[in-house]
Amino acid sequence: MEEFHKTKRLPPYVFEQVNRLKAKARAAGADIIDLGMGNPDLPTPKHIVDKLTEVVQDPRSHRYSASKGIQGLRKAQANYYQRRFGVKLNPDTQIVATLGSKEGFANMAQAITAPGDVILCPNPSYPIHAFGFLMAGASIRSVPAEPGPELFHALERAIIHSVPKPIALILCYPANPTAYCADLEFYKDVVAFARKHEIFILSDLAYSEIYFGDTPPPSVLQVPGAMDVTAEFTSLSKTFSMPGWRMGFAVGNERLINALSRVKSYLDYGAFTPIQVAATAALNGPDDCIRETRAIYKRRRDVVVESFGRAGFDIPAPEASMFCWAPIPEKFRHLGSLEFSKLLLEKAEVAVAPGIGFGEHGDDYVRIGLVENEQRLRQAARNVRRFLESADKTMHNVVQLETSS
């Protein structure tokens, strides 16, 4: 049967190929160390879980909730932005709670996109950044993911050569999957560009609290004038280890937030009220749990960089996020990221995310999630070392055979 129009615009989900092989290997008894999905393994802090279990006992909390988020939750998010970034937000007009940042992005695409609109999107980048807009009927023009001169050159070319003119630029720093980080000077230039050319900025700030240096990642909304052109998306998934709770936010420009709120009002009644109340407790509560989570990811990052490096798989140390963006070892690069990921799964029992799943410019890389404890990460490195040593021996034997013949 012929595919539907919107599903035809979506390529095969490359991660599914790795997932199928992973499930098959596990069914056969293999101990797969899964570093592929960015699925936090740390427990949600106890005070948040306690608040959920308290509120869920009240039958009134089982009714329909508020699509844009309960008032207390939106106030808590406004207070968080004031504390963390020094940005003042109106909880009634500049904040909407979303079912995670992924849903927020997808529904923002539905809210602001007309068929044929052009969106500027980093490549590689998290899939929803591009495909949310593709499903809404837009065309994607790729720009470099790394903040710097090449990105601005690409933006200038896009303004000149795109027909119609782009309506929005997507940013994601700290970046998924590349872990690139941006500073305020970069954001100032981006805001100036967006205001000059009258395009929107859609900023994904889901990893703002997972950083390893002394300088916290900024918000683009800290830049004067950014509120005129920007909506920013955040999530509690990584900050508070709440991925399955599906709680995030869109904040910023009133026109964009209003458009998203209207679309959401037709599609959902918001998250389950006890989850929203517990999320309010998370945002209003102590931040020692955030610091502990950050420290755990930093130790894991150091373990991966050190142990994989000794195994012969050199991995740059990311400054932020819960991922390492790892160049495929030179002798395997010709395979591409999908085949290399399959090989790691089969030979080393280690699952990673193929870079091609984040865009064609990611095909020389794999994404490694810091989602196992340090012992398991070291075990993954040992498995990889054995695989690489075995591959070297095989290559050596082939060369000797060719030489002798």
Q: Is the peptide bond before 177 cis (omega within 30 degrees of 0)?
A: yes
Contact 344, 335 (CB under 8 A): no
Residue-wise pLDDT for 238-269, tens only, equals: 999 999 999 999 999 999 999 999 999 999 99
- Report cis status (omega within 30 of 0) of the bond before 164: yes
Residue-level pLDDT at 15:
81
Residues 69/95, Cβ–Cβ less than 8 Å: yes
Q: What percent of the chain has pLDDT over 90?
A: 89
Percent of the chain with pLDDT over 70: 97
The model's pLDDT over 152-162, given as tens digits with 9 standing for 90+, comes to 999 999 999 99
pTM of the model as a whole: 0.93
Per-chain mean pLDDT for the chain: 94
Q: What is the mean pLDDT of residues 341-356?
A: 95
Average of pLDDT values for 342-356?
95
- Range of lowest pLDDT (2-6, 127-131, 159-163): 2-6
Angstrom distance (rounded) from CA 83 to CA 177? 27
H-state helical runs in 113-179: 127-135, 149-161
How do residues 21-72 score in pLDDT, each as one tens digit? 999 999 999 999 999 988 899 999 999 999 999 999 999 999 999 999 999 9
- Considering only CA atoms, which of 24, 38, 40 is closest in space to residue 345? 24
Q: What is the DSSP letter of 245?
A: G
The residue type at 405: S
pLDDT recorded at residue 398: 46
CA distance 219 to 221: 5
Length of the chain (residues): 405
Q: Please compute the mean of the pLDDT values over residues 207-235 and round it to a whole number.
A: 97
Beta-carbon count within 10 A of 26 CB: 14
